[in-house]
Structure 1
Amino acid sequence: MIKMAQLEDIRKMYFMEDLSIREISRRTGIHRDTISKYLSLEETKPPKYKLTKERNHPVLGPYIPMIRQIIEDDKQRHRKQRHTGTKIFGILRQEGFSGGYNTVSDFLRQEYRKQKEAFLPLEFELGTYAEVDWTEAYFYLNGKETKAHIFVMKLRGSGGFYVRAYPFEKQEAFFDGHIKCFEFMKGVPYKIAYDNLKTAVKKVLQGSNREEQEQFISLRTHYLYESTFCRPARGNEKGGVENAGKEVVRRFFVPYPDVNSFEELNHYLHNECIKLLEKNSKWEAEKSALRPLPTVRFDGARYKEAKVNRYSMIQFETNRYSVPTSYVGEKVTVRATAEEIKIISKGSTIAEHFRIHGRNKDSIILDHYLELLLFKSRALGNTKVYNPQTLPPIYEQYRRCLLARNPRGNREFVKILMLHRDYHPSQVTEAIEIAMEYNVYGYDGVLNILGQTLVLSHKADPINKDKLQSIPEVIVTPPNLDKYSILMTGGDH
């Protein structure tokens, strides 16, 4: 095979200098038949070498069955744990192979090229088939770069998809993603394809068989759909949702969204999905073809038993959540969803918290400790259960003024905080502001002002004249009291 520059010289010598093929062969050292072949070409494309028969591998030949067996076994392994060319070369060397690395790598390149899989174009009936997967993207949470785990559900009939963002890929997030997607679509597909997620699959068995998680079976039973799983390391079997995940990152996370919470991020993603689906001509038709939602929402929460410690807190995972002090030492049930933590005792919810997404953090509700603070009020300024930043600034100002005037000021202040149980926080705040304005310091004074402000705010509006006209006139005949006059004279029987 000659190079393009040689072909150029040959053509110039023949067509421009009128040299014979024999003379060109003498000057270039290229055989006359080869020159004739290239001169007869209609198009002057770069010459290509055509291999008419497969090369022999005299040195590698005895080891080819071993190489092909390694490649075949690798199909059952995770793609990141398959043999590299260097690893295969090392194995062959141990078996006595005397050739070089390039011989092995050239053969592997040919083998992998032969084994490239071809795919068929697919078409799905509307409403019948969906795919679920996780992808990752980064965004700014309160100005800090943060990773979001994106749950993606794609309907293959229309190609439309919906997404939700979570701080993790735990089972409660997996279930919440299904619930939110089904409710957004107002229906359930008949079959959903999954990767071998730990939240769904306990163990991968032979072939297409799987030992599934009990909670996942419960989810599927509730919504009455079928599930199917990809073969290990064969993500292409749900390529539709993987492409949707890439589109989500490209469309919705470039540039980084800048939000203050995951709730705000999900609101943004919800609106972006709607904008995209409005352009999908098949979306509404596919939604109408879905199986109807059950009347009761699936409980996708995770439950765990916990014990309230002496600080009136329970631990869930690595974080701690407060409960009322009256439950110290008792066993309670923690109900965890992707967004909130509920603590239950004897069937009643005794505390609710937003779920903490960090590690080794505390979620403390001041109200849980107020009864204890009545008896230990001196510790109010030093305990972390009282955080002035969680209240309007006027509260801490009032507490300091109250304490300067009354040695039991902290106790009075705790009683004022208890007013939040019966009155709206804005009403208590207004009463404290008025109390400071008039130099009234104490629980009784704040309660008195609170009562006055509430009375003043409930003024009766005069009745409209038109309404008075619509009220029928009632004439009351006054009673005749003359018969009672006789009693003044002593009576006459």
Structure 2
Amino acid sequence: MIKMAQLEDIRKMYFMEGLSIREINRRTGIHRDTISKYISLEEPKPPKYKLTKERTHPVLGPYIPMIKQIIEDDKTRHRKQRHTGTKIFETLKKEGFSGGYNTVMDYLRKEYRKQREAFLPLEFELGAYAEVDWTEAYFYLKGKETKAHLFVMKLRGSGGFYVRAYPFEKQEAFFDGHIKCFEFMNGVPYKIAYDNLKTAVKKILEGSNREEQEQFIALRTHYLYESSFCRPAKGSDKGGVENAGKEAVRRFFVPYPEVDSFEELNEYLHNECIKLLESNPKWEAERAALRPLPAVRFDGARYKEAKVNRYSMVQFETNRYSVPTIYVGEKVTVKATADEVKILNKGTMIASHPRIYGRYQEQIKLDHYLELLLQKSRALGNTKVYKPQMLAPVYEQYRRSLNARSPRGNREFVKILMLHRDYPTALVTEAIEIAMAYNVYSYDGVFNILGQLLVSGSPKTAPVSKDKLQGIPEVVVIPPDLSKYSALMSGGGQ
């Protein structure tokens, strides 16, 4: 099995440099069949193994955390009272360090050498270079002040940028930001600069080297672009996108936008970005200079194995999501994107929910519990899976009327709810309303009316008015005297 970085090199040599499989084989030593296999993949996936660990300093290694802590503490002290290299060496010797002075000084020179920074005016080729960053802004979500994490991608050739808002900066939001930006731009820049984000970088190595997250390599390999990372704590290395983030907050979040969802906020940001880019004379030219999008969208979801509990719910992070009750006890896969949670069983989706952004909350669908409610219909009024406020008011009115007429009223009502699986909600609701007008209280009655609505658009007969009902004389039925039948039984055994 080859490494993800080798897979990336193979695809770049083939798709970007135009090298033949034979030439790639000559350069890399990787078998031609293996090369053919990986360049034919529509969506490259990272190999399922861990990267080898970076070589550590054999003697100094255990003391490096102590050195870093000393340097970090010195930042809060007066400049003339900070540790020198000699003082650090003496401190380490007291702690048992057996190495030499030069070992410590070589490490300090490589890791903490400082120099005065100078800046050059920059000019970028169209489509060649972009920068990515996160920033924060506040807005009103359903009237409540809420923090948005803004994913910003700026193309340096034209200076145009695009913004997406998320409730967090998790990996699935990081990937979704790339996907949405690339699709908005209808192309991919040749190189993108980043901070040392945990979603992309596992470990900062010496110089510009980084141990990268496997999924981040998969993203980069899918879209075939180069990446670079800023020096630690050097945001000026990508000052263009930092300024774009500040401009986005100033232009789009002053005053606070008032929305009912993140979807509405992102629609607002999308439209505001378009307005801003319409006045950018280089924007369309830069879009035309980007690399084309791949045929398949990158799968930026996060996957997690889980088990369905006895309440037919699956936990993801701190929240729980319902699935049909037939899957209780089953092992399932949770597929989480920035705004949706899908639950899969053996590759088949069995439930889909909007993602919960809070903590210790539940997302429950009544339909998942209807079969169980048929068996335990008495619990319908007390279970939290049935929330009358989620349905039209006529449903709860009809349920109460059913229960007043029959001890099996809840069961009849559950069967009516199951009609939503096969018929439009509006049509089922209309059938219930007509049933109440006709004084019909049963599943069969509602189903019959529904069938008439489907065929003709209205029931065949009109309901009897209350005035006519009052004019009908009362009929008194006298029960028969069953004792008269006893005479027939006498002698019946002869």
TM-score by length of 1: 0.71
Map 1:242-261; keep pairs closer than 5 Å: 242-261=242-261
Q: Distance in 2 between matches of 1:141 and 1:338?
A: 17
Where do residues 273-422 of structure 1 align in structure 2 (5 Å cutoff)?
Answer: 273-422=273-422
Structure 1 residues 81, 191: CA separation in 2 closer, same or farther (over 3 Å shift)? farther
Residue-by-residue CA offset, 1:75-103 (whole Å, 9 max, x unaligned) = x99998661354754879xx9xxxxxxxx
Offset of residue 436 of structure 1: 1.0
Q: Please list the CA deviations of residues 283-330 of structure 1 after superposition, one character each: whole Å capped at 9, or x if unmatched.
A: 000000000000000000011100000000000000000000000000
Greater shift in the superposed pair: 401-410 or 284-293? 401-410
Give the distance between the partners of 1:433 and 1:195, measured in 2 at CA: 59
Letter in 2 for 1:83: K
Counterpart CA distance in 2 for 1:125 and 1:81 is 42
CA RMSD of aligned residues (A): 2.1
Contact 1:208 1:229 in 2 (8 A): yes
Q: 1:82-101 residue pairs with structure 2 within 5 A?
A: 83-86=75-78, 88-89=80-81
Q: Is 1:448–2:448 an aligned residue pair?
A: yes
Secondary structure of 1:455's counterpart equals helix
CA distance in 2, matches of 1:145, 1:338: 21
* TM superposition shift of 1:115: 6.9
Cα offset, 1:149, TM superposition: 0.4
Partners in 1 of 2:120 and 2:310 — Cα distance?
64
Q: Does 1:431 align with 2:423?
A: no
**Contact 1:78/1:232 (<8 A) preserved:** no
Could you tell me whether the CA contact under 8 Å between 2:127 and 2:289 is conserved in 1? yes
Instruction: Report the Cα distance in structure 1 between the residues aligned to 2:71 and 2:172, rounded to whole angstroms.
Output: 28
Post-superposition CA distance 1:148-177 (Å, at most 9, x none): 000000000000000100000000000000
Name the residue aligned to 1:190. Answer: 190
Shift of 1:118: 2.8
Q: Is the 8 A contact 1:380 1:386 kept in 2?
A: yes
User: What is the Cα deviation at residue 385 of structure 1?
Assistant: 0.5
Kept in 1: contact 2:452–2:458 (CA 8 A) = no
**In 2: Cα distance, 1:90 partner to 1:349 partner:** 60
Match of 2:141 in 1: 141
SS in 1 for 2:309: coil
Aligned equivalent of 1:164: 164
* 1:350-385: CA deviation from partner (whole Å, max 9, x where unpaired): 000000000000000000000000000000010000
Give, in angstroms, the shift of residue 458 of structure 1: 9.7
Aligned partner of 2:109 in structure 1 is none
State which drifts further: 395-404 or 279-288.
Answer: 395-404
Q: In 2, Cα distance between the equivalents of 1:147 and 1:78?
A: 35
- Is the Cα–Cα contact under 8 Å of residues 74 and 83 in structure 2 kept in the other structure? no
Aligned to 1:180: 180
Tell me the SS of whatever aligns to 1:119: coil
Contact 2:190/2:226 (CA < 8 Å) preserved in 1? yes
Alpha-carbon shift at residue 406 of structure 1 (Å): 1.1
Which residue does the alignment assign to 2:472?
none
Checking the alignment, whether the CA contact within 8 Å between 2:196 and 2:229 is kept in structure 1 is yes
2 CA distance for matches of 1:458 and 1:205?
A: 74
What is the distance in 2 between the residues matched to 1:203 and 1:82? 23
Partner Cα separation in structure 1 for residue 397 and residue 458 of structure 2: 29
Q: Offset at 1:117? A: 2.9
* Residues in 2 aligned to 1:321 and 1:270: alpha-carbon distance in whole angstroms: 30
Q: What amino acid maps onto 2:413 in structure 1?
A: F
How far apart in 2 are the matches of 1:381 and 1:402?
Answer: 13
Q: Distance in 2 between matches of 1:146 and 1:189?
A: 32
Read off the aligned partner of 1:367 and give its amino acid letter. Answer: D
- Paired with 1:217 and 1:80, the residues of 2 have a C-alpha distance of 31
Residues 1:80 and 1:187: Cα distance change in structure 2 (over 3 Å): farther
Rounded to whole Å, the distance in 2 between the matches of 1:88 and 1:391 is 71
Structure 1 position 116, deviation (Å) = 5.7
Contact 2:139/2:257 (<8 A) preserved: yes
In 2: Cα distance, 1:415 partner to 1:458 partner? 22
Aligned to 1:40: none
Q: CA deviation at 1:437?
A: 1.2
Query: Offset at 1:393?
Result: 1.1
Structure 1 counterpart SS, 2:150: strand
State the distance in 1 between where 2:167 and 2:178 align. 16
Higher mean Cα deviation, 340-349 or 185-194?
A: 340-349
The 8 Å contact of residues 172 and 301 in structure 1, kept in 2 or not, is answered as yes
TM-score scaled by structure 2? Answer: 0.71
Gaps of 5+ in 2: 1-67, 88-113, 460-494
Q: Distance in 1 between matches of 2:82 and 2:231?
A: 29
Confirm or deny: 8 A CA contact 1:192 1:225 kept in the other structure: yes
Alpha-carbon displacement from aligned partner over 1:390-420 (angstroms, at most 9, x marks no partner):
1111111111111111111000000000000
Q: Distance in 2 between matches of 1:81 and 1:398?
A: 70
Task: Say which one has the larger Rg.
Answer: 1
Q: Which moved more, 1:397-406 or 1:180-189?
A: 397-406
2:121 maps to 121
Specify the code of the residue in structure 1 equivalent to 2:206: Q
Query: Could you tell me which amino acid in structure 2 is paired with residue 391 of structure 1?
Result: L
Deviation at 1:456?
1.2
- CA contact under 8 A between 2:74 and 2:82: conserved in structure 1? no
Please tell me the residue identity of whatever aligns with 2:411. R
Contact 1:79 1:233 in 2 (8 A): no
Unaligned segments of structure 1, at least 5 residues: 1-75, 96-113, 460-493
Residue aligned with 2:218, SS: helix
Inter-CA distance 159–458: structure 2 relative to 1 (3 Å threshold) = farther
